[in-house]
Amino acid sequence: MNPGILKLYNIKKNYSVWLFWVLFNCCLFSTSFASSVPDLGFTIHKLASGVDGHTVLIIGGIQGDEPGGFNAASLIVTHYDILSGNVWIVPNLNFLSIIKRSRGVYGDLNRKFDKLHPKDPEYQTINRIKKLIVDPKVDLVLNLHDGSGFYRKKYYDNLHNQNRWGQCLIIDENNIDAINFSNLSHIANNTIAYVNKNLLNQKERFHLNNTQTKKGNKEMAKTLTYFAIKNNKSAFGVEASKSFLTPKRAYYHLLAIESFFNQAGIQYKRNFKLNEYHIKKAINDNIQVALNNRKILLTIENVRKRLNYIPLKKNSKIEFQVNHPLMTIVGSGDAYSVFHGNRQLTRLSPQYFDYDFTLDAIDMIVDGYHKTIPFGNIVTVKDNFIVKELKDHRVNIIGFTKKGVSNESGLPVTKQNIIKRYSINKKGSIFRVEVYKSKKFSGMVLVNFDGKELSGFNVAFKQKSVNQTKNLF
């Protein structure tokens, strides 16, 4: 068995996806572990329709303890088609703070846009996002937040007052000197009206919060949106209430985003219904990691809290791809932690092998039909499967045993004769089929007895690497 990980994305084929990853230190590890904290840089996803139009930049995760915002931004990447205009998304601006559930590991990132010392650990992050904001193609900027309570212009009670930030749209002033979208208050009020027509509860109304930053609001003068409008970019802060669970926060963010799309003339299509149930389902939909040139694929939805004996390559960095922008892997002690946003989904405990590259697929009989399955793929099985015998290779079906048998090729296997606790998912339906040549690891295939077809891993991003580290947590 083995721990490994991959980072990838399922972006529609007519999107232009530009990624700027500085995700991890690209250093090697063996069975000893480095003590440095990996660099988790943000990613940029450019969704281009091919039809001329405005460009909206969406930013999530500027503060790591606000999952409504960064999950909503991520859903635009993974579940929306842009049919006209362009949408650029940074779903994980403060990725380290996201996985550590911190507002800001090195202080509040949203207070570093005015003056910042070059030795600040987030200096490069700020410079990168500033360059993106001032890009001539960008017309409108949305900064997604989750705020406490419910904003009101006057004090009503402890949760509803002028010092709360939830359920509001933030502007720094009414109008700016911009070529497009200069009337901030008009645009904001249109969005507020749109959101308030689609409330889940009438007590959850949005309000406009004009911070009038130019008049001397020193705190807001340090923020991303104020930096944007100083550079003649229309910019808005969207705040969903922290009183809600993440799917409801994301619901209100997506309502607001779609209103801005409509006002910017951006046509779009999403592949789920806009309600809490389907948002929660979409957030967790078909998330996977692939490791070491797709020798290994792991489905992460409903994964067990720990996966043991994942076969990793000796004396080498772990390389991975993911199919979701909030997925990442970090080394932690003697294992690897797999994160989806601020949730640690599983830990991978490694077992180290030299790798065999003479084989890249296996032949199987699945429910009576012959199939050739490349490593790093999933095959759905209704009743039984057989891995056909391989010359000079040994098959190990994790959780299946037969007395006196060390090579499990050629044997019929059903769900009933695999031990459930060895599955990779809590439901007990997905199992690992590993192949070895002598003492070398050749690759892995997953068999799925769930009956539900799981889509394969569509590699669209550059492969990343990570070293083990003891001091991240």
Q: What is the number of other CB atoms lying within 10 angstroms of the CB of residue 13?
A: 6
- Looking only at the bridges linking them, the beta strands covering 168-171 and 234-241 are antiparallel
| 244 occurs within a structural domain | yes
The pLDDT of residue 40 is: 85
pLDDT at 318: 86
Residue 72's nearest CA partner among 220, 321, 250, 326 is 250
Domain-ending residue, one of 266, 299, 320: 266
For the segment 378-383, the average pLDDT, to the nearest whole number, is 95
For residue 129, is pLDDT > 50? yes
Tell me which residue of 435, 413, 432 sits closest to 424, measured CA to CA.
432
Both 177 and 242 in a single domain? yes
Mean pLDDT of 234-238: 98
Does some domain include residue 402? yes
Report the CATH number that the domain containing residue 99 is assigned in CATH: 3.40.630.10
Q: Which residue(s) pair with 48 in the sheet?
A: 86
For 17, half-sphere exposure in the C-beta direction (CA atoms, 13 angstrom radius) is: 20
Asked whether residue 463 is assigned to any structural domain, the reply reads: yes
Neighbours of 270 (CB within 10 A): 15
Same domain, 117 and 156: yes
Residue 42 forms part of a structural domain = no
CA distance 120 to 299: 37
Gap between the Cα atoms of 45 and 220, Å rounded: 27
State pLDDT tens for residues 240-259.
999 999 999 999 999 999 99
Same domain, 257 and 314: no
Per-position DSSP letters for 215-280, written without gaps between them: GT-TTGGGSHHHHHHHTT-EEEEEEEETTS-HHHHHHHHHHHHHHHHHHTT--EEESS-SSHHHHH
Mean pLDDT value of segment 337-366: 96
Structure-block tokens of residue 154 = 């006057």
Q: Do both 223 and 306 map to the same domain?
A: no
Q: Do residues 163 and 216 both lie within one domain?
A: yes
User: Does one domain contain both 306 and 427?
Assistant: yes
Q: Are residues 321 and 213 in the same domain?
A: no
What 213-216 contacts at long range (C-beta under 8 Å, 24+ apart), as own/partner pairs, is 213/172, 213/173, 214/172, 214/173
Per-residue model confidence (pLDDT) at position 473: 38
**Is the predicted pLDDT of residue 301 greater than 90, yes or no?**
no
pLDDT tens, residue by residue, 341-354: 999 999 999 999 99
pLDDT higher than 60, residue 459: no
pLDDT band of 135, cuts 50, 70, 90: very high
Are residues 429 and 338 both part of a single domain? yes
Q: Does residue 101 lie in a domain region?
A: yes
Domain final residue, candidates 220, 251, 266: 266
**pLDDT classification of 454: cutoffs 50, 70, 90:** low
Final residue of a domain: which of 266, 297, 315? 266
- pLDDT greater than 50 at residue 33: no
Six token digits for residue 75 = 């859903």
Q: Specify the pairing of strand 343-353 against strand 394-397.
A: unpaired
Cα-Cα-Cα-Cα torsion 287, 246, 111, 20, nearest 10 degrees, comes to 10
Whether the per-residue pLDDT at 36 is higher than 50: the answer is: no
Local structure of residue 146 (DSSP, 8 states): E
Q: Are residues 239 and 313 in the same domain?
A: no
Strand segments (E) across 375-457: 378-380, 384-387, 394-397, 413-414, 430-437, 440-448
* Confidence grade of residue 455 (pLDDT, cut at 50, 70, 90): low
Which DSSP helix (H) or strand (E) runs through 346? strand 343-353
Q: What is the pLDDT of residue 344?
A: 95
Q: What is the pLDDT of residue 7?
A: 30
* pLDDT classification of 17: cutoffs 50, 70, 90: very low
Low-confidence winner among 372-381, 435-444, 457-466 (lowest mean pLDDT): 457-466
Whether residue 222 has pLDDT greater than 70: yes
Distance CA 197, CA 439 (A): 63
Greater pLDDT, 7 or 359: 359
Domain assignment present for residue 395? The answer is yes
Cβ atoms of 230 and 133 within 8 Å: the answer is: no
Q: What is the pLDDT of residues 271-282, one digit of tens each?
A: 999 999 999 999
Residues 298 and 188 both lie in one domain: no
Q: Higher confidence at residue 68 or residue 38?
A: 68
Same domain for 6 and 57, yes or no, is no
What integer best gives the mean pLDDT of the chain? 88
Mean pLDDT of 457-472: 44
Question: Which tokens is 443 given?
Answer: 């690759």
Q: Say how many CA atoms lie within 13 Å of 126 toward its Cβ.
A: 23
Residue 88, domain extent: 50-266
The mean pLDDT of 311-315, rounded to a whole number, is 93
Encoded tokens for 369: 């039909």
Give tens-digit pLDDT for 389-415: 999 999 999 999 999 999 999 999 999
Same-domain status, 189 and 100: yes
Task: Write the pLDDT tens digit of every residue in 83-120.
Answer: 999 999 999 999 999 999 999 999 999 999 999 999 99
Q: Is the per-residue pLDDT at 472 higher than 50?
A: no
The predicted-structure confidence for 171-202, as pLDDT tens digits, reads as follows: 999 999 999 999 999 999 999 999 999 999 99
Quick one: pLDDT at residue 469? 35
- Is 279 a domain residue? no
pLDDT at 13 over 90: no
Q: What average pLDDT does range 314-319 have in this prediction?
A: 87
Q: Is the pLDDT of residue 457 over 60?
A: no
Q: How many domains in the chain? A: 2
Whether 382 maps to a domain, the answer reads yes
Instruction: Report CA 16 to chain centroid distance, whole Å.
Output: 18
